[in-house]
Amino acid sequence: MTFDESSSDAAWMERLREAVRPATAGRIGPYELVAEANRGGQGVVFRARQPGTNRHVALKRILGGRLATREARARFEREVEALCGLDHPNIVTVYGVESIDGQPVLAMEWIDGQPVDAWARGDARAGRPLRERLAVFLQVCDAVQHAHQRGVIHRDLKPSNILVSATGVSRVVDFGLARAVDSDSSDAARLTGTAELLGTPAYASPEQVSLDRAGLDTRTDVYSLGAVLYQLLCGVPPHDASRGLPALLEAIRKDDPPAPSSVAPGVDRDLSAITLKALARDPALRYQSVDALAADLRRYLAGEPVTAQPPSLAYQLRKLIGRHRTSFALVLVVLAALLAFAITTASLALRLDQQRNAAVAAQTREADARAAAEEVVDFLRRMLAAADPRKRQGEALTVSQVVDEALQRSEGMFEQRPAVDALVRLTLGETLNALGRHAEAQVQLDRSLSILRELYGGSRKETGQALRSLGHVQLAQGHAAEAAALYSEAAEVYRRLPSEQLALAATLHSLAVAHLEQRDLALAESLLVEAQQLRGAKPGPEAAESINGKQLLASLKFHQGQFDEAERLALAALSEARAALGDRHELTIAVLGNVAVVMKRGGRPAEARPYSEECLATARLVFGDDHPHTLQSTANHASLLQALGEDARAEALYTQLLSHYEQRDQLELPTALAAANNLGSLLLSQHRYHEAETLLRETLDRTRKVMGPRHPDCAVAMAQLATAVYELRPDDGRAEARQLVADALAIMEGALPPDHPFVLKARSHLARLDGE
């Protein structure tokens, strides 16, 4: 959009828009168009039905179709790149991007919602309560901060780009003008032109309307959020647009907006001050991060002093009295004597001074956190830029290679900036764990946690994140007890942070998994219930939460021996995952594998086969052959083939898996131990007792070392080893075999229900040994 709306370029674009406007909904490739949902300067969005799933999606393509300019295509590609790097419950979800008839098409989550300003107006009788409006605005702040932490500036935040569902969950949409933090301003200029205004004028920052490309940073989004907040409080934008575009742009550059408290009677001075600080014309006078804006709003909602106000004694006294009205009323009645009043005043002064110092310290911490986050983003951006094919001269880089380079460059780089060092190590540790490089991940996360504890103790969410990530590493290596201890500590951190209830719910979910791995089924179930209650009280990404909950509950029922109920829950989770997340989502792949395992255990391996084959094929396609998810899917499929009597194919897969783990010195990982146990079972069924005994003794030793001597997986290995010992040495080996089975039965009876198939099988085995 240019300043001169009557220019020939603008008129030509309008004619082009009309030329490409479809007369009917029609189709785009395999997608059936329901209706046109939105049309802007860059693209058109349709509501469409996705083939196969029949779910509704938002389908976006470039305005102008094949006639779109190179700059328009570049903007579209930038939006795709920005959205694909974001994963947040309050940011629209991307399902995929594909080329249809030579044109890029972006498929996204369809959101049944209203623009946030329309939602805030409520019905004809009354607008939404103030706290409800602020709660939704805080969701938006969290989403934008998430984008900033991943190096993305939105640059077009406005009410129509914030959609709110009927349940009060917001989604930030339309990243068509998004830009990477610290991206080359010359690139931006080539994409936008030298006389083009980025963003919607009524919500654009002074630096945007001044066409100051170099001055655009995350504080630009802070200003736009301030403008959205002004609209939610007052019902109008901060500057009057009725006088025309030139006057509006001049007002944004030179004038401060009227205080919200003077426009809307229900807005008090604190909330007005917060809004005006976000709208400061000088970026240096604004909140220096979206997190700082959100933190001040949360202090306001808690009745605490806000940093937007000068911390004067009178102001602090007003806040203290506002929080303790009844107490002060009694004090005013009782304290009539001048001496008593003086003593009380001195006491209050001390308390107020402490509060003022706390507010200033909070502001300092927020500034430090912003600086650290920006330095982390800059470091990671430079690392990812190393993979640019133009710089590598055609040499392709894997994710592991990029991480290796980042590890090498980061060593010692941030010694003088420990907060940055901790966050860089946290990010690298999480990435290494996702790649299956658990030992390296633990080194980075241990150091990150040590730094965070030294800096903040247990008062920051980053400490909880490091603890939880370390728990993931321990669990991936089969150390369920150690993982449970870390998850418990992380949960305690999050319990002290009221704004982190979703993180607490996710941590309790992980803790339930750790206890499930230890077969502490009752405790796992109680933690799952608590996590679901927390998520129900605080809106979030409903589909993923529901699927995860069903999946964990199915696993719980499976370990309780309730296979029919486990299968029902797993199939329900699969149906929900396919519809909401698509066939290639990580969670859909995991649920597919669980359905196959449950069906196999229920005695129907032939019905399980198509689920297992789809799971393995999709995992290989999405993750590659060596990813932990693919290796787990391979182990599960080998077990299924064994149940179907296809021993040769099953043995080949088991051998391939164990060779992979042995080469990497990872034979103690849970998937490797399970594969070895299953291969031992296959060898027993083929009467290859010598091979089985050797393998099962090694596996039992490793399982005891990793999971502890009382873990049910030890019992499985013990029972199988007993069979090999007895078959090889019926006389000399009987006593050892009987002791192995008796010990296995004791472990199983302590961990599993009395009618569990494993318990019944062990009892039968022991009875046979005693009877012969």
pLDDT score for 265? 79
CB 478 within 8 A of CB 706: yes
**Angle, CA 225 vertex, CA 222 and CA 230 arms, to 5°:** 125
Can you list the alpha helix ranges (DSSP code H) found in 624-646? 628-643
CB 145 within 8 A of CB 219: no
| CA neighbor of 523 nearest in space, from 759, 754, 758, 751 | 751
CB 237 within 8 A of CB 227: yes
**Angle, CA 392 vertex, CA 390 and CA 397 arms, to 5°:** 115
Q: Please give, one letter per residue, the 3-state secondary structure of 705-725.
A: HHHCCCCHHHHHHHHHHHHHH
Which pLDDT tens digit goes with each residue over 701-735?
A: 999 998 888 888 899 999 999 999 999 998 888 89
Which pLDDT tens digit goes with each residue over 119-156?
A: 998 875 668 889 999 999 999 999 999 888 887 888 88
Which helix (DSSP H) or strand (DSSP E) does residue 32 occupy? strand 31-39
| CA neighbor of 60 nearest in space, from 108, 1, 8 | 108
* Alpha carbon distance 389, 713 (integer Å): 47
Instruction: Tell me where in the chain the CATH 1.10.510.10 domain(s) lie.
Output: 114-304
**Angle, CA 287 vertex, CA 281 and CA 291 arms, to 5°:** 145
Instruction: Tell me where in the chain the CATH 3.30.200.20 domain(s) lie.
Output: 8-109
540 or 603, which is more confident?
Answer: 603
429, amino acid identity: G
**Angle, CA 472 vertex, CA 468 and CA 475 arms, to 5°:** 130
pLDDT score for 314? 43
Angle separating helix axes 313-323 and 338-385, nearest 10 degrees: 100
What are the tokens at 714? 């030890």
CB 150 within 8 A of CB 346: no
- Active-site residue flag, 156: yes
Q: Identify the band that residue 748 occupies on the pLDDT scale cut at 50, 70 and 90.
A: confident
Which pLDDT tens digit goes with each residue over 613-651?
A: 999 999 898 888 888 889 999 999 999 999 999 999 999
Instruction: Tell me where in the chain the CATH 1.25.40.10 domain(s) lie.
Output: 386-540, 542-645, 663-772
Share of the chain above pLDDT 70, in %: 77
Q: In this structure, what DSSP letter does residue 91 have?
A: B
Q: For domain 386-540, give the CATH number.
A: 1.25.40.10
Q: Please give, one letter per residue, the 3-state secondary structure of 288-312.
A: CCHHHHHHHHHHHHCCCCCCCCCCC
Q: Indicate if the pLDDT at residue 536 is higher than 70.
A: no
Residue in 112, 117, 142, 156 annotated catalytic: 156
* Alpha carbon distance 442, 439 (integer Å): 5
- Mean pLDDT on 276-281: 93
Averaged pLDDT of the chain: 79
Which pLDDT tens digit goes with each residue over 1-25?
A: 333 333 334 443 444 444 444 444 6
pLDDT score for 459? 80
* Alpha carbon distance 576, 544 (integer Å): 9
* Alpha carbon distance 570, 558 (integer Å): 10
* Secondary structure (DSSP) of 720-747: HHHHHHHHH-TTTTHHHHHHHHHHHHHH
Q: For domain 663-772, give the CATH number.
A: 1.25.40.10
* Alpha carbon distance 155, 144 (integer Å): 10
Which pLDDT tens digit goes with each residue over 453-470?
A: 888 888 888 899 999 999
- CA 207 centroid distance within chain: 32
CB 59 within 8 A of CB 48: yes
Phi, psi of 230 (to 5 degrees): -55, -45
CATH topology of domain 542-645: 1.25.40
Q: Indicate the CATH number of 8-109 among 3.50.50.60, 3.30.830.10, 1.10.3720.10, 3.30.200.20.
A: 3.30.200.20
* Alpha carbon distance 602, 597 (integer Å): 9
- Mean pLDDT on 543-559: 82
Which pLDDT tens digit goes with each residue over 29-76?
A: 888 899 888 876 667 888 998 877 778 999 988 765 555 566 667 667
Q: Identify the band that residue 561 occupies on the pLDDT scale cut at 50, 70 and 90.
A: confident
Q: In this structure, what DSSP letter does residue 35 have?
A: E
CB 628 within 8 A of CB 637: no
* Alpha carbon distance 481, 209 (integer Å): 57
Residue 520, helix vs strand vs coil: coil
| CA neighbor of 43 nearest in space, from 157, 147, 177 | 177
Q: In this structure, what DSSP letter does residue 498 have?
A: G
Q: Indicate if the pLDDT at residue 184 is higher than 50.
A: no
Instruction: Specify the CATH architecture of the domain 114-304.
Output: Orthogonal Bundle (1.10)
